[in-house]
Chains A and B, each alone.
Chain A
Amino acid sequence: MDISPQFLDTDRIREDFPILHRTVHGDKKLVYLDNAATSQSPKQVIDAIVEYYSLHNANVHRGIHVLAEEATALYEGGRDKVAAFINAPREEVVFTKNSSEALNLVANVLGWAGEDYGIRPGDEIVISEMEHHSNIVPWQLTAERIGAKLRWFGITDDGRLDLSNLDELVNERTKVVSLVHVSNILGTVNPIETIVKRAHEVGALVVLDASQSAPHMPLDVTRLGADFVAFTGHKMLGPTGVGVLWGRRDLLEELPPFLGGGEMIQTVTMEKSTYAGLPHKYEAGTPPIAEVVALGAAVDYLTAVGMDNVAAHEHAITEYALKRLQEVDGLRIIGPNTAEDRGAAISFTMGDIHPHDVGQVLDEHGIAVRVGHHCARPVCVRFGIPATTRASFYLYSTPAEVDALVEGLDQVKRFFGV
């Protein structure tokens, strides 16, 4: 096949990823197509962790010895890198455990907040039917606790957000709209500008789950116009255990703290405490220091490749994968079937063969995909299916891996006799 110019030099990139060179089930080459669940790390990220623990390990912000100062500088350096990556001031970048914790943080503090931003009984919270469970359950909890009403956007048959009732759904009672930027199951890229415009018109805050967008496309939080943005390190070449919450400074200053503990205080008396400034107010306890340092290395790696180039590569891979997959007899794409406004996660069903069985046979051939409802069960219900098989790509994915997937699916059909 002819390699179109928008593909990255994956031969060179893959040299940086040790895990992509291992074999599975004996001598099968690993074809890793589960990047929407977690991405792999280049040696630059792995080295950053090794170097941190080998040379600089100490707690941050609370020692005057050399190691403590080095660890603090490295940790805060990680924050600078992440801030630059999303074009935000460093004070607005809060480290959490993952996207889920970031979203729980927002859902909780908006529930606890006072007059200006607090969610009150009868207020409305708007999400969508294509959310990951981590952007559904925290809002259900808050809504139940307060007596607020949870509402949601539907999904169109071709897997897009149904905006036909936007003006009715997002109204003067709406306090917050919390929406996924790119769906982890459908791959849909949602029209954030339209939503932000309507939400701000009625005075509602906008929370964005950017777990599947921050790793894959340029993300400029000041241009997006949302009020909060959440994403996670392990989906963007970084380690597990660290997530990011970006929030507008005035909001973070005004809203109450989430977790209490060391690091997030200014003064503590037995009766009452005052809180640290941003971003530390939202970082109680010893943070994931090595993880933040490694996330900084991941951001360096992505920045060196260029997020525009990453996005272009994935667009090309997605276009190719959609074309090849739709040539497979009996395969149904769940989500948009063109690469326009679409991320590189592609869900599909294979006739009556259950995704679990599809995934098992693919695994036997060294092909790693995700099967199940992808923590987005309402989407499966919406499309009347129990589960899907999902292949998801990243900057190191190649057209040859798409071909391997398609060949694997032929094996699946042969095995189950369809």
Chain B
Amino acid sequence: MQLESMYQEIILDHYRNPHHKGLREPFASQVHHVNPTCGDEVTMRVDLDGDVISDISYESQGCSISQASASVLTDLLIGKNVEQARAVQETFLQLMQSRGEGHEFAEEHEEVLEDAVAFAGVAQYPARVKCALLSWMAWKDATAQALAVQDETDKDRVKA
């Protein structure tokens, strides 16, 4: 059945038992992203320790795909440095834009994508791609803001 290619067991597991959910302190930045077509929402916090992503916490409501995607994201990105994390985000974005070639692409990039390979089937449903990308776009935004805050603080420190 085609449906199971989208709703992989990994996705349903993350949906039922999301990892790292709930908003935590400390955090360097917080963003709120919505998907206006379906009402999915995520509030996401990112904390940095130098250039290492020390924490990502979130509150969200939405479909299984958007919820599982946020959970997988935290598993993948917490502990990585910003450059590594951005590479993962970029690869996940490419996976979501791969349409028919999702499974081949996922196989090729399994080392980077880890559990996120489960989303290969979602790429075949254009209406659901935005659900999968919601938290990743929020993370990208939050990280950029966290880095900007860090820059300001550094400048202040230099001035002081």
Chain A positions within 8 Å of B, measured between CB atoms, are: 25, 354-357, 360-361, 364, 371-373, 377, 380, 386-387, 415-417
Nearest-neighbour CB distance to chain B for A417, whole angstroms, equals 8
22 contacts between A and B (CB under 8 A): A354-B63, A354-B64, A356-B40, A356-B62, A356-B63, A356-B64, A356-B128, A357-B63, A360-B3, A360-B6, A360-B7, A360-B125, A361-B3, A372-B37, A372-B38, A372-B39, A386-B40, A386-B41, A386-B61, A387-B38, A416-B12, A416-B64
Q: CA separation between A416 and B67, bound complex, in Å?
A: 14
Q: In the bound complex, do residue B2 and residue A386 qualify as a contact, i.e. CB atoms below 8 Å apart?
A: no
Enumerate chain A residues within 8 angstroms of B16, measured Cβ to Cβ.
417
Chain B positions within 8 Å of A, measured between CB atoms, are: 1-3, 6-7, 12, 16, 37-41, 61-65, 125, 128, 131
Q: In the bound complex, do residue B2 and residue A25 qualify as a contact, i.e. CB atoms below 8 Å apart?
A: yes
Q: CA separation between A416 and B41, bound complex, in Å?
A: 21
Q: CA separation between A377 and B41, bound complex, in Å?
A: 13
Q: In the bound complex, do residue B39 and residue A380 qualify as a contact, i.e. CB atoms below 8 Å apart?
A: yes
Enumerate chain B residues within 8 angstroms of A361, measured Cβ to Cβ.
3
Q: In the bound complex, do residue A360 and residue B128 qualify as a contact, i.e. CB atoms below 8 Å apart?
A: yes
For the residues of B in contact with A, the DSSP-based class is mixed
Enumerate chain A residues within 8 angstroms of B39, measured Cβ to Cβ.
372-373, 377, 380, 386-387
Nearest-neighbour CB distance to chain A for B126, whole angstroms, equals 13
Q: CA separation between A372 and B131, bound complex, in Å?
A: 12
Q: CA separation between A373 and B34, bound complex, in Å?
A: 13
- Chain B's closest residue to A363 (CB) is B3
- Chain B's closest residue to A387 (CB) is B39
Given A356-B38, A357-B63, A372-B38, verify A415-B128 contact (CB < 8 Å). Answer: no
Q: Which of B1, B41, B61 contacts A364 (CB 8 A)?
A: B1
Q: CA separation between A372 and B62, bound complex, in Å?
A: 10
Enumerate chain B residues within 8 angstroms of A371, measured Cβ to Cβ.
38
Q: In the bound complex, do residue B61 and residue A415 qualify as a contact, i.e. CB atoms below 8 Å apart?
A: no
Nearest-neighbour CB distance to chain A for B60, whole angstroms, equals 10
Max chain B Cβ within 10 angstroms of own Cβ: one of A360, A380, A416: A360
Q: In the bound complex, do residue B63 and residue A415 qualify as a contact, i.e. CB atoms below 8 Å apart?
A: no
Max chain A Cβ within 10 angstroms of own Cβ: one of B3, B63, B64: B63
Given A371-B38, A386-B41, verify A356-B3 contact (CB < 8 Å). Answer: no
Given A372-B38, A386-B41, verify A354-B1 contact (CB < 8 Å). Answer: no
Other CB < 8 Å A-B pairs besides A354-B62, A356-B38, A356-B40, 20 of them? A25-B2, A355-B63, A356-B64, A356-B65, A357-B65, A360-B6, A360-B7, A360-B128, A364-B1, A364-B3, A372-B38, A373-B38, A373-B39, A377-B39, A386-B39, A386-B40, A386-B62, A415-B3, A415-B7, A416-B64
Nearest-neighbour CB distance to chain A for B128, whole angstroms, equals 7
Enumerate chain A residues within 8 angstroms of B128, measured Cβ to Cβ.
356, 360
Nearest-neighbour CB distance to chain A for B7, whole angstroms, equals 7
Q: CA separation between A415 and B65, bound complex, in Å?
A: 14
Enumerate chain B residues within 8 angstroms of A416, measured Cβ to Cβ.
12, 64
Nearest-neighbour CB distance to chain B for A367, whole angstroms, equals 13
Enumerate chain A residues within 8 angstroms of B40, measured Cβ to Cβ.
356, 386
Max chain B Cβ within 10 angstroms of own Cβ: one of A356, A377, A415: A356
Enumerate chain B residues within 8 angstroms of A417, measured Cβ to Cβ.
12, 16
Q: CA separation between A180 and B156, bound complex, in Å?
A: 56
Q: CA separation between A364 and B128, bound complex, in Å?
A: 14
Enumerate chain A residues within 8 angstroms of B62, measured Cβ to Cβ.
354, 356, 386
Enumerate chain B residues within 8 angstroms of A372, measured Cβ to Cβ.
37-39
Q: CA separation between A373 and B41, bound complex, in Å?
A: 13
Nearest-neighbour CB distance to chain B for A81, whole angstroms, equals 35
Q: CA separation between A84 and B131, bound complex, in Å?
A: 46
- Chain A's closest residue to B1 (CB) is A364
Nearest-neighbour CB distance to chain B for A236, whole angstroms, equals 25
Given A386-B41, A387-B38, verify A364-B2 contact (CB < 8 Å). Answer: yes
Q: In the bound complex, do residue B64 and residue A357 qualify as a contact, i.e. CB atoms below 8 Å apart?
A: yes
- Chain B's closest residue to A364 (CB) is B3
Q: CA separation between A415 and B39, bound complex, in Å?
A: 22
Enumerate chain A residues within 8 angstroms of B63, measured Cβ to Cβ.
354-357
- Chain B's closest residue to A25 (CB) is B2
Q: CA separation between A386 and B37, bound complex, in Å?
A: 11
- Chain B's closest residue to A356 (CB) is B63
Nearest-neighbour CB distance to chain B for A97, whole angstroms, equals 21
